[in-house]
Amino acid sequence: MAINLSVTGMTCDHCVHTVTRALKSVAGVEQVSVDRAAGRARVDGTADGRVLLQAVQKAGYKAQVLDAV
């Protein structure tokens, strides 16, 4: 399963690293891909979308689930 997130507040490569690390820390995450220019993140695995949002918000960014496929 993949969950696509919209992430706002990322302005540099350090932001991308921070969001990536936050998402990878969630149980069930297998792979993370963050695109700063598009303001998106794709998470593959079995993690709960609400927990992913909490992880991103705890890291200091705003996020919302776009879709889950």
Tell me if the pTM is above 0.85: yes
Q: What is the pLDDT of residue 69?
A: 85
54, amino acid identity: Q
Which amino acid is located at 59 in the chain? A
For 8-62, write each residue's pLDDT tens digit.
999 999 999 999 999 999 999 999 999 999 999 999 999 999 999 999 999 999 9
Distance CA 30, CA 10 (A): 22
Give the per-residue pLDDT at 66.
Answer: 96
Q: Which domains does the chain have, with CATH numbers?
A: 2-68 (3.30.70.100)
68-to-12, 17, 49, 60 alpha-carbon distances in Å: 26, 22, 8, 23
